[in-house]
Structure 1
């Protein structure tokens, strides 16, 4: 069963232009599925049936996996088996009736506007001496909050993706889809300051990367998350963690400020408007909390 799996992974990479992280996630999920099917007696892909797929998901559930993980794994199985049927690796798609639990919709953790202000202000104070890494961290925080881009998109930016005159950044998102995202004056100022000290970290291997690590290479996702986690932890009054919290925060503040849903969808690079609509729920919850705290008959 390895041959069709490897062919499917190549299909995701070369034809569907999925990211390396997405391909790895598919590979992990599908290897789990195929291992389970083999344990149930499957000798090749044609002998995998619906009962085997259901037992596989049942075992995953019993092991304590979350509903969202189970839903993702079921979706991976359906995608793989549908492709296998189209390519003739199986006679019929056994996953057509494979149900999966609905994903739990957790409201994203977001910062209030005063918390977001303190986040970047505190980082700016720490960067007051002009130490390159501290200056970089301010630019990272400002750009994430200003644009709502994903951490993978941030670390993939090159220096010439930034247009300081127009205050826009060219972003390569999921599925290699390019979009242009605006940012404000504070982020522009932080980037100008970063460009002023960036050469202090440049090495022969730096290349065109916008943000650099302390050894001069392109800033990695783990390093970027550490930058954000440190800054959020320093606030002391929020449980929000990680770059995605700033993405949620940017989206929520845009909607709170009157931005329309379609514009926010375009800025965030969401393929579906339904994904963006989640942030309207956050705004409604804030409105409800404000009403409850303020209205005498709440």
Structure 2
């Protein structure tokens, strides 16, 4: 059984060109699978059942392994057993269909309203690229759009008359989202500056580089990171954080989950529930003030 594992790891290393680090990770996980088999006195891979795989994952979880670690063990076992199936060492892959413990949904951090307002207000607007960078940040925070939606935006997607923009989201779905007065003011200035940078009249991109080309996702991330550090923002600034801050602040003020879902372009309301979160104290205060059975009786 050990020789089968070694052959599989050799294949990953030499044929699949996996890195040494990845192969070592696979080795660690498959050693757990082998130890389990030896512990129940199995002497060939054919004896492993689906129930055994479930028991192995459950045991690891009980011993403190995180859902991510359990998922790695399950993935490594499934792929190894698939390899054995291709070599006719087993007749079925017992790991197919087995699910690991559910991973907790990680919420991105948002920036509090006062810190974000202070940060945006102190952004310089003296040079064309400074105006561009502030316009990008104002739009990300004002509308809660994704990084890819920002980089893919064209000038014609903006409507200053009703302060909306047309967004091409996931699944090539188009939606219209509003943007605020602060974003409108800086965007109006940027469109004028942009026209001075454009060298090719065929370029439609709203946000362009100094050379007049559409900004890449990576370039936008770098500009936000630069300003976050330059202006002393405590947390690392990236587009997703501005999107999340927009959603959180709108939800805290309105409590309208459906409106936030539409703003963010989520297909499912459950995604919005995970993606945004109300501060518990804010929620508790609202509840205490609003619910008739929560109000404290006067003596």
Q: TM-score range by the shorter chain?
A: 0.5 to 0.7
Structure 1 position 177, deviation (Å): 0.8
Q: Which runs of 5+ in 1 are unaligned?
A: 1-27, 41-49, 78-91, 291-298
Q: Which residue is 1:245 aligned to?
A: 241
Instruction: Give the 3 Å change call, closer, same or farther, for CA 288–236 of structure 1 in structure 2.
Output: farther
- 2:68 aligned residue: 67
* Number of aligned residues: 223
Aligned-partner Cα distance in 2 for 1:237–1:289: 29
**Counterpart in the other structure of 2:200:** 204
Match of 2:279, SS state, is helix
Match of 1:133 among 129, 136, 143: 129
Tell me the alpha carbon deviations over residues 207-256 of structure 1, each in whole angstroms, 9 at most, x when there is no partner: 10010012211011011111222233345353243110001100000011
2:112 aligns to what? 112
* Aligned pairs for 1:127-206 within 5 A: 127=125, 129=126, 131-204=127-200
Corresponding residue for residue 295 of structure 2: none
> How far apart, in 2, do the equivalents of 1:68 and 1:190 lie?
46
SS of aligned partner of 2:98: coil
Q: How does 1:1-298 map to 2 (within 5 A)?
A: 67=68, 70=71, 97-123=97-123, 126-127=124-125, 129=126, 131-204=127-200, 207-284=203-280
Is the CA contact (8 Å cut-off) linking 1:138 and 1:190 kept in structure 2?
A: yes
TM-score of the pair, normalised by structure 2: 0.63
CA gap of 1:206–1:144, structure 2 versus 1, over 3 A, is farther
Task: Pick the structure with greater CA Rg.
Answer: 2
Match of 2:166, SS state, is strand
Distance 2:141 2:70 in 1: 28
1:284 to partner: Cα distance: 2.2
C-alpha separation in 2, matches of 1:219 and 1:69: 39
Q: Distance in 2 between matches of 1:166 and 1:118?
A: 27
Secondary structure of 1:254's counterpart equals helix
CA-to-partner distance for each residue in 1:188-215, whole Å, 9 max, x for gaps? 1111000111122112286100100122
RMSD of aligned residue pairs (Cα, Å) = 4.0
How many angstroms apart in 2 are the aligned matches of 1:68 and 1:289?
39
